[in-house]
Structure 1
Amino acid sequence: MSSVIEQSVQARMVASAPRMETLPATLQYDRRDPFAVRMAFPAPATLEGTEVAWEFSRELLTTGMDAPAGVGDVRVRPFGYDRTVLEFHAVEGVAMVHVRTAELRRFLERAQELVPVGDEHRFLDLDRSLTDLLGGPC
């Protein structure tokens, strides 16, 4: 069984124009970092012309599909019947994207199969994390 789940989703960029631009994005979950979800936007879809990725907690995504969640750089909230809004706050501004809630739920179900909620601690490599934190082997 693979330790990484990837799923492509279609995100709709919310802009001031009446039409929302659809752009591809990839959700990723790696059981070696069991609390985090990564959402990446490919280079052609970004203003910088380079891939942009945001990492945030799986719990934030789960909670934000049903009620507004987050107070930091990433905020998630339901929108209408079948969409979820993800807000990405940076120095340059705020990017808001809509994603179908069903796609997010499918992704989270797959992550749950890989690492059940509540069992994340079993997949942490604390020795490696401490070595990285302390700058190398002691």
Structure 2
Amino acid sequence: MSTVIEQPVEARLVAAAPRMQRIPATLQYDRRDPFAVRMTFPAPATLEGVDVCWTFSRDLLLAGLEEAQGDGDVRVRPYGYDRTVLEFHAPEGTAVVHIRSGEVRRFLRSTSELVPLGLEHLQLDMDRDLAELMRDAC
């Protein structure tokens, strides 16, 4: 069984222009990092011209489907019946994207099949992680 789930999504970038630009993005979940999800934007869709990946809590994404969540670099909130808004705050500025809530729900269902909510801690290998920390400290 694969340890990684990747799902392409269509994001709509909110900008000053009247129409929202469509950009491809990928949602990713790795059972080796069971509390986190990643959203990656390809180089052509970013100001820097390089792939940009944001890592944030799976719980944040799930809770943000129902009501506004987050007060840090990543914020998530529902928008209407079928959209979810993700805000990414960086020193260079803020990117606001809309994605279909159905795509987010499908992604989260897949992650829950791989690692059920509330059981993430069972995926952690504390002995290995501690050994890595100690090795890096020397």
The question of a shared fold, defined as TM-score above 0.5 by the shorter chain, is answered with yes
Unpaired segments of 5 or more residues in structure 1?
none
Q: What displacement does 1:125 show? A: 1.7
Partners of 1:66 and 1:96 in 2: CA distance? 18
CA contact (8 A) 1:131 1:137 kept: no
Q: What displacement does 1:4 show? A: 0.3
Look up the match of 2:134. 134
Aligned partner of residue 89 in structure 1, secondary structure: strand
User: Between Structure 1 and Structure 2, how many residues are aligned?
Assistant: 138
Partners of 2:79 and 2:94 in 1: CA distance? 17
Q: What displacement does 1:135 show? A: 4.0
Partners of 1:73 and 1:134 in 2: CA distance? 30
Look up the match of 1:98. 98
Look up the match of 1:10. 10
Look up the match of 1:124. 124
Question: RMSD of aligned C-alpha atoms?
Answer: 1.3
Q: How high is the TM-score relative to the length of structure 1?
A: 0.96
Look up the match of 1:50. 50
Structure 1 letter corresponding to 2:14: V
Look up the match of 1:112. 112
Q: How high is the TM-score relative to the length of structure 2?
A: 0.96
Unpaired segments of 5 or more residues in structure 2?
none
